[in-house]
Structure 1
Amino acid sequence: MSNLSSFVKRIRDVMRNDAGINGDAQRIEQIAWMLFLKVYDAKEEDWEFEDEKYESIIPEELRWRNWAHTENQGDGLTGDKLLNFVNNKLFPTLKNLEISPDTPIRQSIVRTTFEDANNYMKDGVLLRQIVNIIDELDFGSYEETHAFGEIYETILKELQSAGSAGEFYTPRAVTQFMAKMIKPQIGETMADFACGTGGFLSSWIKELEEVKDAKGSISNEESEKIYNSIYAVEKKQFPYMLCVTNMLLHGLDSPKVYHGNSLIYKLLDYTQKDAFDVILMNPPYGGSEKDDIKQNFPADLRSSETADLFMAVIMYRLKKNGRAAVIVPDGFLFGNDNAKNNLKKKLLTDFNLHTIVRLPGSVFSPYTSITTNILFFNNEEPTGKTWFYRVDIPSDRKHFSKTKPMELKHFDDCIAWWNDRKEITDDEGNPKAKCFTAQELIDSNYNFDVCGYPHEEEEILSVAETIQNYEEKRSKLNADIDNLLAQITELHQKAQKGEL
C-alpha cells in the first residue's frame, strides 16, 4: 500500500458518511472484523504454501479473496448486493461454523471472532469503499506487515478515548515497562486472564524477540517456544477480535487467546498444570460480580470488586517461583474491606511483594483519571520488605493526555532506580522511594497508600491547554453519548419487532 500512514484517516473519512456508525467504538469494531478477515486470508495463503492439503474452515465463496478482493471481478459486490451478502450470508455462516474440541485453534478462532460481531454500516457503496481500502494492504510483504503492525497500534490506541471501550487498552508505555522489568526468558509461559486488545501479549513477545536478538541465533525449537508462550482470555467479544488480529499480525499462527470469563472456575480446582511462569495483567476494576461468580472463591477472598477476584486468580495460577506484574487502582492499596486485607496479607506472607510502582493519575487519560499502581511480586519466600517508587509527571508537562501520552522514556528514572535501589525524598520532603517492612504494612492495617502524590494545588492552564483539555473531555462525552444512543436505538428496534 503506497500510503500506509493515511490508512486510518481514509477509513474514518468514509465512515463519517455512513448513518450506521455511531462513535469511535463502533467505527473501530467495524474496521476490526474486516481487518481480521484480510489478515486471516493472508495467513491462509502461508498455510496453503506450507501444506498443500490445508483446507480453510471458511466456505470458499466467503473467503476474503473471493468476495472482497476485486481483481478479476470488475468492481466486485457493492451497494445493496454487498450489504445483503455481508448481513445475510457472511455473518450468519461464520457465526455458526462447525467446530469441535479437535478443531485447530487457528481455525476455531474464526467462529469465536464472529460470534458477537456486528456490521454497523448501512450504505453498501461506502462499505465497498472501506473494503477496497483494506484490500490494498499487502500482508505478503514483511515490511508492510510490520509497518501495518504500527498502524494497528494507533487504531487500538484510539480506544482509550472511545468511551467505555477505553477499558480494553492499557497504554503501551506501561505494558512495555512491565514486560521489561519482568525479564522474560525463552521457554517461559505467560498469561493474561483479561487481555483486552493484547497489549501485554505483544509487549511480552517484543521482549522475548530482544532476548533472541541478543543471543544472535536460536534453534527452531526455541523460536517456537516464543510464539507458543502466551495464554490469554478475554470476556468481551470486541476486544477479543482485536486481540486475535493483533496476535496474527505478530506472527502467532495459532494464538492461544480464548473468548470467555476467567472468573467462572473454582479456584480450589486449579493445579500446577494450570499455572504459569509469568502473569502480566491490568484486571478490570470498578466492576461488580454476581453471587454465583463469588462462590468460586474461598470465603476469605470473596469480593464484589472484579479486580480483587482477578488478584485471587493470579495468586492461584502463578507457578512456584513465578513472577507477576499487575496494575491495581489506588482503592486496592488503601481499601480495608475483608477481601482486600486478606489479599494484601497473602501478598506479604505467602508471596514476595517486592515492589509497588505508583503511576500518575493521568496515565489512562482521557479514558479515566483513576490513579493506578503496579504490583510486582514473586511466588517465593517473602523477604519481608516492599519497596515503593513514585513515577512523577515529567517536568515538561502538567499531565499526560491523548496528544501527549506517557512514553517508555518516562520510566527511565524508575528503571535506573530499580537496578540501584535507595530511598529518595522529593523537593517538598515527601518520600518518592522508600522501603517498608512487611510488619510495618501489617501494622498500618494493610494500608499501602505510601509514597503517593502530594496534594495537587489548583492548576492554572494556558489557553491552549484549556482548549485541549476541553476537547478531550468533549471527545469522551461524545463517545459516551454515542454508546447510550446506540443502546437506546437497539432497544427501540427490538420493541418495534416485539422482541421486548
Structure 2
Amino acid sequence: MTGELGNKIDSLWEIFWNGGITNPLDVIEQMTYLMFIKDLDDTDNLRAKEAAMLGLPFQSIFAENVDIGGRVVDGSQLKWSTFHDFPANKMYSIVQEWVFPFIKNLHGDKNSAYSKYMDDAIFKINTPLMLSKIVDAMDELYSMMEELHQTDIRGDVYEYLLSKIAQSGVNGQFRTPRHIIRMMVELMDPNPKDSICDPACGTSGFLVASGDYLRERYKKEVLLDKQNRNHFMNDMFHGYDMDRTMLRIGAMNMMTHGVENPSIEYRDSLSDQNPDKELYSLILANPPFKGNLDADTISTDLQKMCKTKKTELLFIALFVRMLKIGGRCACIVPDGVLFGSSNAHKALRKEIVENQRLEAVISMPSGVFKPYAGVSTGILIFTKTNHGGTDNVWFYDMTADGFSLDDKRSSIKDNDIPDIISRFKNLEQEKDRKRTDKSFMVSKKEIEDNDYDLSLNKYKEVEYKAVDYPPTSEIMANIREIEKQINLEMAQLEKLLGKL
C-alpha cells in the first residue's frame, strides 16, 4: 500500500464520514457494493474477451433488456462505465433505483449464498452529491491501482479498509495477508477435482486465491471441461463464518472473481450446527484464536477428539473431521499449539502425528500479522488418513516474508516464500539437510520421544562459532591509546575556542 494510494483511500473515507456514514463497517460495506458494481463491469468485459478467445458462447449480465422489479430497462445503463459520466442527480437515481436492486437480485437462485446475504443489504449513500464525489474518487483510485500493476492491489485496498475497523476500536476482523494465503495455496496445489473449504472464511480470501490459482494453472480444464466448470462454479468452494457483513463481502468477492455460486454460509463451525464430516478434499484456513468457548456450544464430536474449550485446538480437530480420507489441510496456528503442555495440546498433536500424516511445520515470524497482532504463528500441513503414515516431518524456519516485520510492513528484498515453495515441492532433497539449515527433516520417532512437541526450536541446532579475543593487556593498551588521542583532540579544540 503506497502512501499516495493510502491517502486516496483516506480521502474517500472522509467523503463517507462528512456525508454522515461514520460506522467503519458501514463505510466498508457501502464501498464494497460500489467496488463490486465497478468490478462487475470490468469482469463482464474480461469474460467476453476470454469467451471470444476460447470460442465459447457468452451472455453478458448487462443484456440489452434487464428486468428490475417488473420494469424493463436498458442493461447498458447499469454499467459503471456508462453511469459514471452522468450528472449527479441522474447518476443517483439510476444507482439507487436500478443498479442497487439489480445487484441485490443478480443471482437467480434465491437459496444461493449471494442472494441470502444481499437480501438485507441497504444502500445508505443519501445524496446525489455524495455519490458523485465517491464515484469520482473511486475512478481515480482504480486508475492508480492499474498504474501500480500489482497482482492483488484490490486485496491490499481491502486490507487497508479493514485495518480501519481495528483502528476504530470496533470488534472487526482482519484478513490473512494475501502473500501468505497465496503461499499456502501454492503449497497445496489445488486441482479441478478438489472440494475446498474454509470453516472460518471471513472475506473468503483463501477461496478466492484458490479459484485464481486454478484459473491460472488449469485454465482449459476448469473453463472448457463442462463437468469441471460446473463443479468450479457451483460445488467446489465452501466457506462458513458468523459475521453476516463478512459473508456478504465474501460472497461478492467470490462472484467478482468468477465463481457464480459458492457455498458461503452463516454457521458456527465448532457447534452442532455444523454436521460436516468427511466432505472436503482440501481445507485452507486461518481460524480465530480467541480463547475459550462455552462448553455447551461445542460439538460433542470435537470434544471426543480433544477435550478443551480452546478454539485453536478445536478447529484443528474440526479439520480432521471435515476432511475426506486422503484430504489435505494447511492451516495457520498460534505457536502455543505446537508446544503447549496441557493434555489437550498433547492429545491433539498426537492425533495428527500418530493417526494422520503430518507433513510439514512452517514457523513464521511474529510480525507477519502486524499491525493487527504480534502473535507468533506457524503453518501445519497434514493429510487425513485415519491410519497414520507420518514418516519424516519437514520443518522450515521462515525469518522473512518480503515485508518489514514492524507495524509499517514496508516491502523489502528478503523473502523466504519462494524458497519454502521450492523446497516443499522437492522434499526428497531435504533428507540430508543439517539441523542448522533453514529447513530440515525430523523423524516421527524423535517427535514421539519429545512428547509430540512440534516447535522448531526443539529440533533446530544453532551453530556457535568460536571468537578469539586479544589478551586483556592488549585491549587495555588500545583503550589507553584512544584516551590519549581524545585528550590531544580536546586540547586542540580548546586552543581554537580560545582564539575566537
Q: TM-score w.r.t. structure 2 length?
A: 0.70
Distance 1:64 1:289 in 2: 50
Shift of 1:319: 0.8
Are positions 1:240 and 2:247 aligned together? yes
What pairs with 1:486-497 in structure 2 (closer than 5 Å)?
none
Q: Is the 8 A contact 2:199 2:240 kept in 1?
A: yes
Q: Tell me how many residue pairs correspond in the alignment.
A: 431
Are positions 1:279 and 2:288 aligned together? no
Residues 204-223 of structure 1: CA distance to partner in whole angstroms, max 9, x if unpaired? 12221233258799434333
Distance 1:109 1:408 in 2: 40
Q: Is the 8 A contact 2:37 2:103 kept in 1?
A: no
Deviates more, 1:436-445 or 1:7-16: 7-16
What pairs with 1:157-172 in structure 2 (closer than 5 Å)?
157-159=159-161, 161-162=163-164, 163=166, 167-172=173-178
- Structure 1 SS opposite 2:33: helix
Residue 390 and residue 54 in structure 1: after superposition, are their counterparts in 2 closer, same or farther (change >3 A)? Answer: farther
- Structure 1 SS opposite 2:358: strand
Shift of 1:184: 1.5
Name the counterpart of 1:421.
Answer: 430
- Which has more radius of gyration? 2
C-alpha RMSD of matched pairs (Å): 4.7
Letter in 2 for 1:235: M
Residues 383-432 of structure 1: CA distance to partner in whole angstroms, max 9, x if unpaired? 343221111227x9863554425899531222232212146558xxx564
Residues 92-111 of structure 1: CA distance to partner in whole angstroms, max 9, x if unpaired? x99999x99x7252xx6244
Residue 321 and residue 124 in structure 1: after superposition, are their counterparts in 2 closer, same or farther (change >3 A)? Answer: same
Distance 2:233 2:133 in 1: 35
Name the counterpart of 1:32.
Answer: 32
Q: TM-score w.r.t. structure 1 length?
A: 0.70
Shift of 1:72: 9.8
Q: Is the 8 A contact 2:198 2:238 kept in 1?
A: yes
Name the counterpart of 1:211.
Answer: 217
Distance 1:157 1:411 in 2: 20
Q: Is the 8 A contact 1:359 1:372 kept in 2?
A: yes
- Structure 2 SS opposite 1:168: coil
Shift of 1:302: 3.9
- Structure 2 SS opposite 1:262: coil
Are positions 1:153 and 2:166 aligned together? no
Q: Is the 8 A contact 2:221 2:228 kept in 1?
A: no
Name the counterpart of 1:260.
Answer: 267
Are positions 1:309 and 2:314 aligned together? yes
Name the counterpart of 1:491.
Answer: none
Are positions 1:399 and 2:412 aligned together? no
Q: Is the 8 A contact 2:9 2:141 kept in 1?
A: no
Residue 90 and residue 335 in structure 1: after superposition, are their counterparts in 2 closer, same or farther (change >3 A)? Answer: farther
Instruction: Calculate percent identity across the aligned residue pairs.
Output: 23
Find 2:88's aligned residue among 69, 75, 78: 75
Distance 1:407 1:247 in 2: 31
Deviates more, 1:415-424 or 1:230-239: 415-424
What pairs with 1:32-431 in structure 2 (closer than 5 Å)?
32-36=32-36, 39=39, 49=60, 70=83, 74-76=87-89, 103-105=110-112, 109-113=114-118, 115=120, 119=124, 125-131=129-135, 133=137, 150-159=152-161, 161-162=163-164, 163=166, 167-213=173-219, 218-228=224-234, 229-265=236-272, 269-272=275-278, 275-300=279-304, 301-380=306-385, 381-393=388-400, 399=405, 401-404=407-410, 410-418=416-424, 419=426, 420-422=429-431, 424=433
Letter in 2 for 1:223: R
Distance 2:35 2:150 in 1: 11
Letter in 2 for 1:198: S
- Which sections of structure 1, spanning at least 5 residues, go unmatched? 456-500
Residue 407 and residue 368 in structure 1: after superposition, are their counterparts in 2 closer, same or farther (change >3 A)? Answer: farther
Distance 1:205 1:450 in 2: 32
Letter in 2 for 1:449: S
